Structure 1
Amino acid sequence: TEHNEVAPAQHELAPIFTTTNIAADHNQLTMEMMKKTALKHGLVCLLHEKPFDGVNGSGKHNNWS
């Protein structure tokens, strides 16, 4: 699923459940693809916790429900 987050142009991705080792691989592939896709369009994909003062970053976090 995908929905808007707090910062401008920020989205949250919620991957499907899988085993830990596969999930780690999917996470790395997803981050790599986001960065490459951004560069392809002349943009930069920032995955830092707090890249700018006063703006929410895109660092990793877990939501348990």
Structure 2
Amino acid sequence: MIAISVNIAVGAGSIIAFAGFMLGYAIAWRHRGRYVAQAFEEATKPEPTTLVIGDLETRFRRSQR
């Protein structure tokens, strides 16, 4: 009788530990996705560039793609 209760407790503990791990992994994956999207957006944003040749000043947008 005691052996069955111990096995049930160990099994339930394993399930709870696995559920906690998966929850943490899902939260971390979601944060990673947000960080990657934000970094990609910043990296692909066109930057204004000023080119000065003699007295002529030209402003244009440079794409980083």
Q: TM-score, normalised by structure 2?
A: 0.37
Task: Name whichever structure is richer in strand by fraction.
Answer: 2
Task: Name whichever structure is richer in helix by fraction.
Answer: 2
Larger Rg: 2
